[in-house]
Amino acid sequence: MTLEKVSIREMQRAGKQELPVEENYEFEDLPTKGPVYTVALVELDSTGLTVSGRFHATVEEPCDRCYEPYEREIRESFEEDFVFNHYIEADRPGEVELNEEDFYEVIDPEGELDLKDLIRQLIVMGMQQDRLCSRETCDIPA
Ligand SMILES: [Zn+2]
């Protein structure tokens, strides 16, 4: 079974601070070819969690210039910080102010970290770069 969502509550109950994940995710809704190999480490602390790792995806999309489909590799490292929502909502004068619009994402400590969806978002961001194939014929206007 593929581990797609990490239960924060279960990690806390089990007294686990770290959870290594190594999975091959299949995305039906992205132009990925084959599974996306993902290695990640989820680290919990009292205020939130950090997930770091890397993934390797092969995508096939039309080139922006010649419109021919071409394949390319997206390999990226990532590190994302999440803060438990009660640290954001609670009114705690004197403590560090965290704003939801900052680069921290907010997560429910009773909820789950959707790791597969995080990888999906990173692939989508990666797909917005290098959108031109490097075929010799690419420069020739059709
Ligand atoms: Zn092209």
Q: Please, which residues have CB within 8 angstroms of residue 3's CB and are 6 or more apart in sequence?
A: 21, 23, 115
Q: Tell me, in angstroms, the distance from the centre of ligand 1 to residue 120's CA.
A: 25
Kindly state whether residue 74 falls inside one of the protein's structural domains: yes
Report residue 130's pLDDT band, with 50, 70 and 90 as the boundaries. confident
Distance 136 CA to ligand 1 centre (A): 8
pLDDT value for 91: 57
- Kindly provide the residue ranges of all beta strands, DSSP E only, lying in 1-104, ordered along the sequence: 5-7, 18-25, 36-44, 48-62, 69-84
Residue 87, domain member (yes or no): yes
In a domain, 141, yes or no: no
In-domain check, residue 101: yes
**109 CA to centre of ligand 1 in angstroms:** 46
Radius of gyration of the chain (CA): 19
142 lies in some domain: no
Q: Residue 139 Cα, ligand 1 centroid: separation in angstroms?
A: 7
Please write the tens of the pLDDT for every residue from 30-62.
999 999 999 999 999 989 999 999 999 999 999
Q: Which domain holds residue 90?
A: 5-130
pLDDT band at 103 (very low <50, low <70, confident <90, very high): low
For residues 83, 89, 91, 94, the Cα torsion angle rounded to the nearest 10 degrees is 20
| Domains in the chain, number | 1
In the predicted structure, residue 28 carries a pLDDT above the cut 70: yes
Tell me the pLDDT tens digit for each residue of 54-66: 999 999 999 999 9
